[in-house]
Structure 1
Amino acid sequence: MKKYFLKLYQYNYWANKRVLSALTSQNVSDEKILSIMGHVVAAQYLWLHRIQGLPPAEVKLWGTYNLPQLVSMAEEIGTRWLQFVESTDNFDRELTYHNYTNDPYINNVENIMIHLVNHSSYHRAQIALLLRQNGFEPINTDFITYDRVITGQWKD
């Protein structure tokens, strides 16, 4: 599973950077777009802190973030997730935690990690739609595009 999660989180890091680069290059300041991207990044903080048994991350799940903040946060949390995956050998364990509204749950860490990347992809798709609706050009963040980039078949 380690190899799988490493690839999955390398992809997620790449996709987030790609979206943020597109937002930056097009000077996107739309509040809804930035709010959704903030949600993506904040969720990555919240889940990593839960999994690592750290105090709750000081981020707002639906907070107000500007583009430079998002770029910085995405870089930090993307790097931290990769470090976690690289330093962990067993993801198959149960995690007892409270969600953002303090409801108690127990989930397998592997399932949480898969969920988080799917969650990020879902919201990046929303961002792509909003970009198009607002006259901006969305960016391709499909996993197969990532695979083509890292295998040298497609120029990023």
Structure 2
Amino acid sequence: MSNPTMKSYEYHAWANGRVFARLAELSEETLHQELKDVFPSLYAGLVHIYQVDTVWLAAVQGRSYEEAKELRAKVQEKTTGKSIKELEALFLELAESYRNFLNEGGVPQLVRDFTHPTLGVLEASISELIQHVVNHGTYHRGNITSMLRQLGYTGVPTDYVLYLYEANK
């Protein structure tokens, strides 16, 4: 894969898929079990990743902060009461939207202004913001692994090097 931004995003999608495969082995009760951690449950952690991924896709596509904020509320509604398989389907659909966007010629190199009401204006490339999406997901997949261990389950390895080994088979 010659596009480094796309490769980075594909790692993110792969790692999310590994987490879903692991969580699909658990009961719905376990997924929603309340914890005192970064997120109140494993499920809430996944919803947060999905929510942020959705908002950033809107931002890199040129939508305003206000539009992205509205999307965030819609995501909460969209994910409420979903099974793990239904939530995974939402992630897969979103990943396809990212791929379609990133495969448009020259998109990763585009530089845009991203306006936030308290942080100000950020001038950044699409590639830089995709790196943020990937880093954000990596951080919270680590939280989910920690939460799994608190519940007495093994985590799921999602290290980038594992993705590289698997992608090069």
TM-based fold match above 0.5:
yes
Relative to structure 2, which stretch is displaced further, 44-53 or 88-97? 88-97
Encode CA deviations 1:63-107: one digit per residue, 9 max, x unaligned: 4644234212211111111111112314233323344xx434323
User: How much identity, in percent, do the aligned residues show?
Assistant: 22
Contact 1:42-1:61 at 8 Å conserved across structures: no
Conserved? CA contact 1:18–1:139, under 8 Å:
yes
CA distance in 1, matches of 2:131, 2:152: 32
Q: Distance in 2 between matches of 1:60 and 1:46?
A: 10
Alignment of 1:51-70 (within 5 A): 51-54=60-63, 55-56=67-68, 58-60=71-73, 63=76, 65=80, 66=82, 67-70=84-87
Structure 1 residue 138 corresponds to structure 2 residue 155: yes
Kindly provide the amino acid, as one letter, of the partner of residue 59 in structure 1. R
CA-CA distance at 1:62 after TM superposition: 8.9
TM-score by length of 1: 0.82
**For the structure 1 residues 40 and 61, does the alpha-carbon distance in structure 2 shift closer, same or farther, using more than 3 Å as the test?**
farther
TM-aligned CA distance change 1:90 to 1:83, over 3 Å:
closer
The match for 1:118 is: 135
Alignment partner of 2:158: what SS?
coil
Corresponding residue number in structure 2 for 1:45: 54
Q: Is the 8 A contact 1:26 1:136 kept in 2?
A: no
Consecutive unaligned residues in structure 2, runs of 5 or more: 33-39
2:164 counterpart (147, 150, 153): 147
Distance 1:45 1:13, change over 3 A: same
Question: How far did residue 12 of structure 1 move?
Answer: 0.8
**Residues in 1 aligned to 2:75 and 2:57: alpha-carbon distance in whole angstroms:** 17
User: Matched residue pairs, number?
Assistant: 149
What is the deviation of 1:118? 0.5
SS of structure 2 residue aligned to 1:105: strand
Q: Is the counterpart of residue 11 in structure 1 residue 30 in structure 2?
A: no
Structure 1 equivalent of residue 31 of structure 2: 29
Work out the CA distance in 2 between the residues paired with 1:48 and 1:134. 32
TM-score by length of 2: 0.77
